[in-house]
Chains A and B, each alone.
Chain A
Amino acid sequence: MSPRRASRLEDGTLLGYAMLAPAVVLVGILILLPLAYSVVLSLYDWKLLEMNRPKKWTGLGNYWKLITDDGLHNAFINTVIFMVGAVTVELVLGFIIALAVFHMTQGRRLANAIILLPMVITPVITALLWRYMLDPQFGIVAQVMTALGGHGGIDVWGSSMLALPGLMLVDVWQWTPFAILILHAGMLGISEEQFEAAAVDGAGYLRVAFSIILPAIIPQVLIVLLFRSMDTYRIFDTVFVLTRGGPGVSTDTLGLFTFRNGFSYLQMGYAMALSVFLLATVGLISAVYIRLLRRRGML
């Protein structure tokens, strides 16, 4: 054995690659390979039930269809409305509540424990909870409205006007806690001296919140934005369970639209093209945030 190889063994280079390789291979097989496969399949015209028949080459045909598809335009607009609406509310409400928790002198641990509950509930069960809450006859919202002398509840999931805001409400319920916990963690990292300086200057509550706390937690704000934007943009479970895109196409989203083209209409080549589109746009959204985070030395 050459002395050079012996020293490599000693300094752990070989061990390093041996420890890294299995994970890289697994991610390669389970993420990269399917991804490459879907890019190839997006160039063909084929149906799921015809897996053994030769596929028809269409080149960029599926992508051309994608540009001119009204269904996709509708799903894209719904998705962007859902993303912007839900993420804005989650961030603003998250900041307000995180600030309130930060100012508590007692019971903060208990509050945090309760706040994290929605995040660990399966989205499907969250959907079920809100189906019950908003049931037009037996739901608690309807019951309260009746008790107050109203005519009972409104069928949120059956209304093409209210279904999308209803889905936002569900997302806000489940994920505002994420914003609260991350922003609160950021606030805990601010040094006491900054607050003391502000106290000496006689700064009021709002002044401290917006001139000291908010600028100090911009990295945490960006992290909340990155994760919530990515996740709301590719939302699937909650919509699938609560509305299936309806009534009509009023709550159709990109994730649902892609899924439906593949598994209901069996247009696999087209579904693959939509997948590539979804991936590319998610990449674009995250690239913007990652650039902002890196500029602040967070990545």
Chain B
Amino acid sequence: MSARAVGGSNTRAWQIASYGMVLFFLAWVLIPICTVTLNSFKPATAIFTTTPDFAFVPTLEHYANIWAKGNFARQFLNSTIVAVGTAILALGFGTPAAYALTRLPVHGAERWFRAFLLARMVPAVSLVVPLFILLQLAGLKNTLPGLILTHTGFTLPLVVWMMRSFFQDVPRELEEAAVVDGASRWLTFWRVALPLTLPGLAATAVLVVFFSWNEFLFALVLTGPQMQTVPIGVSAFVGTVSVDWGGSSAAAVLAMIPMFVLGLLIQRFLVSGLAMGAVKG
């Protein structure tokens, strides 16, 4: 038994209590998710009952409906384009900056680094109006590139933070050896440091995708009907008086699945990523 299971005679009771509490918490997490998933397969008659109804014939009509209407398919495509575009831009700009601040002789690197942290703390609500105006002036309002740009601004500081902590984990000796062998500093970054941080790069990319896929305020204000993303589409279901339970549940399930898959894939890196490298190790 590991040393952490201490506590003398009452250890076993605490063990059982621990499992009990975790199980309760998992149920609390899963019940809403399962409810909405079940709803998405229920015919309307089974949704609108005042007693729990599990004896229903599953149907795919809600999925067929929201897909046939076209809006959701379009929103799904928009969200994918924006999330991938944001990840490419934010990593493309943020990764070199992180490397420069970690390994290259940049004056005041610590201060630049802290400036990025401050940028991360700016509330979205404080920026939405001026960005609305600036994008309009630039002719980028109601375009996907416009939305990608605003998401990039918000996630770039996060990328710099995370990638710096991953670069710090690369052994210095490896890079020094490459320099001694005559590689330029750029080649050292490109051929030595970058390949070694690929897992970190992937985890950072996934976090950026989470942010962009879930972002609501900018997508709401900066996009018109054609450029809407998934969260805006789902919010349209909730705001109305008569809610389309089946349709909205199906949309919710389709929007959740890709995030669950990505989340489980990078689970190992997610904790350090969420705390921006601050609790690593």
CB–CB B248/A128 < 8 A = yes
Report which of B7, B35, B248, B281 forms a contact with A205, defined as CB distance below 8 A: B7
Given known pairs A26-B93, A220-B279, the reply for A140 and B31 (CB within 8 Å) is: yes
- A147, B35: Cβ atoms closer than 8 Å: no
B130 touches A237 (CB 8 A): no
Report the minimal beta-carbon distance from A22 to chain B, rounded to whole angstroms: 5
The minimal Cβ–Cβ distance linking A60 to chain B, given in whole angstroms, is: 18
Query: What residues of chain B lie closer than 8 Å to A86, measured between beta carbons?
Result: none
Quick check: B47 and A138 within 8 Å, CB to CB? yes
Chain B contact residues: helix, strand, loop or mixed: helix
Q: Least Cβ distance of B21 to chain A in Å?
A: 4
Specify which chain B residues have a CB less than 8 angstroms from the CB of A12 in the assembled complex.
104-105, 185
Query: Contacts of A279 on B, CB cut-off 8 Å?
Result: 122-123, 126
Distance A141 CA – B20 CA, assembled complex (angstroms): 22
Closest beta carbon of chain A to B214's beta carbon, Å = 4
- B26 (CB) vs chain A CBs: closest residue: A114
- Determine if A288 is an interface residue (Cβ-Cβ < 8 Å): no
Residues of chain B with a CB closer than 8 A to A178's CB: 274
What is the predominant secondary structure among interface residues of chain A facing chain B? helix
Chain A 214-253, CB-CB to B under 8 Å as 1, else 0, gives: 0000011001000100100010110011100000000000
A122 at interface, CB cutoff 8 A: yes
Q: Is B32 positioned at the interface, with any CB of A under 8 Å from its CB? A: yes
Residue of B10, B22, B281 near A204 (CB, 8 A) is: B10
CB of B129 within 8 A of CB of A268, answer: yes
- Is A83 among interface residues, defined by CB-CB distance under 8 A? no
B121 and A38 form a contact (CB under 8 A) = no
Q: For the complex formed, measure the closest distance between the CB of B25 and the CB atoms of chain A, giving whole angstroms.
A: 5
List residues of chain A with CB within 8 A of the CB of B3.
192, 195-196, 199
Chain B positions 69-112 with a Cβ under 8 Å from a chain A Cβ: 93-94, 96-97, 99-101, 104-106, 112
Q: Is the CB of A147 within 8 A of B52?
A: yes
Option from B4, B25, B213 in Cβ contact (under 8 Å) with A115: B25
Indicate which residue in A30, A173, A236 contacts B32 across the interface (CB closer than 8 Å): A173
Q: Considering the chains assembled together, what is the distance between the CA atoms of A11 and B234 in angstroms?
A: 53
Query: Does residue B15 face the partner (Cβ distance < 8 Å to A)?
Result: yes
Contact indicator B122/A117 (Cβ below 8 Å): no
Is B267 among interface residues, defined by CB-CB distance under 8 A?
Answer: yes
User: Is B124 at the interface (CB under 8 A from chain A)?
Assistant: yes
Interface size class of B (residues with CB under 8 A): 35 or more
Which of B11, B28, B129, B150 lies in contact with A275, CB distance below 8 A? B129
CB-CB under 8 A from B26, the residues of chain A are 111, 114-115
CB nearest to B232 among chain A residues:
A124
Question: What residues of chain B lie closer than 8 Å to A31, measured between beta carbons?
Answer: 119, 122, 127, 153-154
Task: Verify if B152 is at the interface (C-beta below 8 Å from A).
Answer: yes
Judge whether A99 is part of the interface by a CB distance below 8 angstroms. Answer: yes
- Is residue B6 within 8 Å, beta carbon to beta carbon, of the partner chain? yes
Is A116's CB under 8 angstroms from B97's CB?
no
B156 touches A255 (CB 8 A): no
Contact A241 B238 (CB under 8 A): yes
Is the CB of B239 closer than 8 A to any CB of chain A? yes
Contact with A along B259-275 (1 / 0, CB 8 A): 11011100100111011
How many residues on the A side are at the interface (Cβ–Cβ under 8 A)?
Answer: 114
The reply to whether B245 and A132 form a contact with Cβ atoms under 8 Å apart is yes
Q: Is B278 an interface residue (CB 8 A)?
A: yes
Q: Contact between B14 and A205 (Cβ–Cβ < 8 Å)? A: yes
User: Are A241 and B235 within 8 A (Cβ)?
Assistant: yes
* Distance of A113 Cα from B264 Cα, bound (Å): 6
Q: Answer whether residue A143 sits at the interface, using C-beta atoms and an 8 A cutoff.
A: yes
B135 CB, nearest partner CB in chain A, Å: 10
Q: Which residue of A lies closest to B230 (CB)?
A: A122
**Other-chain contact of A17, B100, B157, B214 (Cβ < 8 Å):** B100
A11 B106 Cβ-Cβ under 8 A:
no
CB pair A112–B267 under 8 Å, yes or no, is yes
Contacts of B2 in A (CB 8 A): 105, 192
A298: CB under 8 A from chain B? yes
CA distance A178 to B238 in the complex (A): 26
Measured in the bound complex, the distance between the Cα atoms of B48 and A196 in whole Å is: 57
> A residues bordering B, Cβ < 8 Å?
11-13, 15-17, 19-20, 22-24, 26-27, 29-35, 37-38, 41, 51, 96-97, 99-105, 111-125, 127-133, 137-138, 140, 142-144, 146-147, 152, 173, 177-178, 180-182, 184-186, 189, 192, 195-196, 198-199, 202-205, 208, 219-220, 223, 227, 230, 234, 236-237, 240-242, 254-255, 258-259, 262-263, 268, 271-272, 275-276, 278-279, 282-283, 286, 293, 298-299
**What 3 A-B pairs come out closest when comparing CB atoms?**
A30-B153, A16-B104, A23-B97
- Show 11 A/B contacts (Cβ-Cβ < 8 Å), sorted by A: A13-B104, A27-B116, A37-B130, A41-B130, A115-B25, A122-B213, A122-B256, A128-B237, A131-B238, A219-B278, A237-B217
Other than the given A147-B52, A181-B271, 19 more pairs (CB < 8 A) read: A12-B185, A13-B106, A26-B93, A97-B21, A104-B19, A116-B270, A120-B210, A121-B214, A128-B36, A128-B237, A178-B274, A182-B279, A185-B271, A219-B279, A236-B216, A271-B129, A275-B123, A276-B126, A293-B278
